[in-house]
Amino acid sequence: METKSIEFNKNEDAMNLAIAAVQHKLEKIYQGGGKARIEKLHAEGKMTARERIEKLIDPGSHFFEIGAFAGYQMYEEHGGCPAGGVVAGLGKIHGRLCIIVANDATVKAGAWFPITGKKNLRAQEIAMENRIPIIYLVDSAGVYLPMQDEIFPDKEHFGRIFRNNARMSSMGIPQIAAIMGSCVAGGAYLPIMSDEALIVEKTGSIFLAGPYLVKAAIGEEVDQETLGGASTHCEISGVTDYKMPDDATCLATIRKLVSQMGSFPKAGFDRIQSEPPAFPPHEVSGIFPENPTKPYDTLELLKRIVDNSELTQYKAEYGKTIICAYARIDGWSVGIVANQRQVVRNAAGEMQFGGVIYSDSADKATRFIMNCNQKKIPLVFFHDVTGFMVGKRSEHGGIIKDGAKLVNAVANSTVPKFSVVVGNSYGAGNYAMCGKAYDPRLIVAWPTAKIAVMGGAQAARVLTQIQVATLKSKGKAPDPKAEQELYETIKKRYDDQTTPYYAAARLWVDAIIDPRKTREFISLGIEMADHGVVEKFNPGVIQT
């Protein structure tokens, strides 16, 4: 695309507006429970969750936040839950990459909503997959009682966190917990099941039951500090390991502890000297179309992301609706699997519509994924897919079998996988391109992403047709006006549910990122994954 064209400028303006909208929403989320609650926290001598993280990580380094949109527009009948009431992400401490999880006490006193539990489990999953230390900055009132049935008893609820504490200990993954506020009931197990626990004097407290419950249960009257304060647990019970005078000293001590940790052997992913793309990365904003139905050349996007803008395409003339290529990103060797939304011709000269996976493109991607596993090359998926091709010809050609081979290869892949949803990610196409269900080490979305079983207009047409057919079967003539209203209602609901905000609120993606920073995200992800273990690839029942 001509980078000075009117179309390029329109695309760039639309993308910049979308990026600004994301940032505007984030700025509000960063306020947590609001200015008044932040001021109250400061008056108690405590830092906010984000201030604690800023003090903990290396000065001037970047904190990649995971799940900032968790809980977005959810639980509004309960007053909302910005960022899920907990801040989590990847940051460096003395140059060492760590997962940091900090309760936000300005949001319902740090109480756990269902999405809070899911977000904590996601953070622990990242630590376990990549064998990196995890730091908990605890300041929570425990389970949000009005929703206890949605957070307490199930396999992926609150208790799973303590199970993960135990599993990480057995795996040798360091866990450090700082009790910087309230830590009560079941939540008391998290810091004490960590390897080391610090507690801040006067503000930190930990007990299975607080003073009021103790009074009700056994009639004993005791104040909070005597029951479970820093002196009690550092001098009498021995439950905690370090007594800290304030937040700043506590965080500085954690930094010292991390600085003395040993390291696991690296996975050994290939990396050479990084080279910038030959084309400016910011140009992705002008290449990706404002109109989500318009074709564009995915290769032009990739050239703004990979080193020297160089890609070695695998089977370049075959299965053209998926691009498979070897490249480097910030020096790291990667295998790229990306949907091509141009209208292209296959090897037989027949037209194929971009954004759709055909049998030949599924076959190509399957083979490429197997090759990357054999060579121990991390995989990066770029989603802009409407699904697999349908119709008589595709079914007769075995599209289900070819699609199953691709899904099998993605599911059994053992090299780290990273997903970037740039546009559509619909139906089984989401699965084939390593959606959340297929264990990407990290998955992010551009502001232009759409994730659903199908697009809003398509879903509305299907459901409207079903409704109309049902009426006709009952001998009732459909009202054209009512039919159109039904279509619009369904379409709006689907459109609302396909936005990247809806996906990020439910942690279907880890973050919504600025497209111009895609390169940095992938590099960070591979650096993280290089701490982990790569198991031997077993392709299962793939028949090629």
DSSP string for 186-202: GGGHHHHTSSEEEEETT
Contact 301, 282 (CB under 8 A): no
* Phi, psi (rounded to 5 degrees) for 91: -145, 160
345 pLDDT tier (thresholds 50, 70, 90): confident
Residue 274, phi then psi, degrees to nearest 5: -70, 140
pLDDT digits (tens, 9 = 90+) for 482-518: 778 888 888 888 888 899 999 999 999 999 999 999 9
3-state secondary structure 140-159: ECCECHHHHHHCCCCCCCHH
pLDDT at 2 over 70: no
Give yes or no for residue 544 having a pLDDT over 60.
Answer: no
Alpha helices in 176-268 (DSSP H): 189-192, 211-218, 224-228, 230-231, 247-259
Task: Please tell me the distance from the alpha carbon of residue 524 to that of residue 511, in angstroms, as a whole number.
Answer: 14
Note the residue count of the chain.
Answer: 544
Residue 176: predicted pLDDT: 98
Assign 167 a pLDDT band (cuts: 50, 70, 90).
very high
For the ranges 147-156, 230-239, 443-452, the lowest mean pLDDT is seen at: 147-156
Residue 467: exposure state from Cβ atoms within 10 A (0-12, 13-18, ≥19): middle
- Structure-token pair, residue 439: 């264990």
**Torsions phi, psi of 414, nearest 5?**
-110, -15
Whether the pLDDT of residue 29 is over 70: the answer is yes
| DSSP code, position 232 | I
Q: What angle do CA 59, 65, 66 make, to 5 degrees?
A: 155
pLDDT at 143: 81
Residue 278 has pLDDT above 70, yes or no: yes
Percent of the chain with pLDDT over 90: 69
Return the closest-CA partner of residue 174 out of 242, 111, 93.
93
Using the predicted structure, report yes or no on whether residue 537 has a pLDDT greater than 70. Answer: yes
Are 434 and 381 a contacting pair, CB within 8 Å? yes
Whether the per-residue pLDDT at 350 is higher than 90: the answer is no
pLDDT at 412: 95
Which token pair is 186?
Answer: 């079941």
Q: Can you tell me the mean pLDDT for 451-458?
A: 80
Longest dimension (CA), the chain: 84
Question: Average pLDDT of 450-470?
Answer: 80
Whether 9 shows a pLDDT value over 90: the answer reads yes
- pLDDT, residue 156, reads 80
CA distance 213 to 241: 26
| pLDDT recorded at residue 529 | 97
Q: How confident is the model at residue 209 (pLDDT cuts 50, 70, 90)?
A: confident
95: confidence class by pLDDT, cuts 50, 70, 90: very high
AA letter at 496: D
Does pLDDT of 238 surpass 70? yes
- pLDDT (tens digit per residue) in 215-227: 888 888 888 888 8
Q: Please report the pLDDT score of residue 468 as a whole number.
A: 78
Give 175's strand partners: 134
Contact 144, 108 (CB under 8 A): yes
Instruction: Give the span between the Cα atoms of 9 and 386, in whole angstroms.
Output: 26
pLDDT recorded at residue 541: 60
Of residues 392 and 440, more confidently modeled: 440
- Amino acid identity of residue 91, one-letter, is G
CA angle 107, 112, 117 (to 5 degrees): 125
pLDDT of residue 543 exceeding 70, the answer is: no
Scan for tokens 């290089």, then name that residue: 530
Mean pLDDT over the full length of the chain: 91
pTM of the model: 0.93
Residue 211 tokens, joined: 């003073």
Which residues are 103's β-sheet partners? Answer: 86
Amino acid symbol at 518? T
Cβ(531)–Cβ(130) below 8 Å: yes
Q: How far is CA 437 from the centre of its chain?
A: 12
Measured at the alpha carbon of residue 95, what is the angle toward residues 93 and 97, in degrees to the nearest 5?
Answer: 65
Instruction: Report the percent of the chain where pLDDT is more than 70.
Output: 98
Q: Please state, in angstroms and rounded to a whole number, the distance separating the CA atoms of residues 544 and 402.
A: 9
Least confident of 141-150, 307-316, 492-501: 141-150
C-beta atoms surrounding 1 within 10 Å = 15
Please report which confidence band the pLDDT of residue 318 belongs to, taking 50, 70 and 90 as the band edges: very high
Find the mean pLDDT for residues 108-118.
92
Do the Cβ atoms of 346 and 325 come closer than 8 Å?
no
Q: What does the block give as tokens for 93?
A: 């401490």
pLDDT score for 542: 60
CB 209 within 8 A of CB 180: no
Mean pLDDT of 171-193: 89
| Joined tokens for residue 392 | 């008589």
Which residues partner with 450 through β-bridges?
Answer: 424
Dihedral of CA atoms 32, 37, 42, 47 in degrees, nearest 10, equals -20
pLDDT tier for residue 212 given thresholds of 50, 70 and 90: confident
Contact 90, 118 (CB under 8 A): no
Predicted confidence (pLDDT) at residue 194 exceeds the cutoff of 70: yes
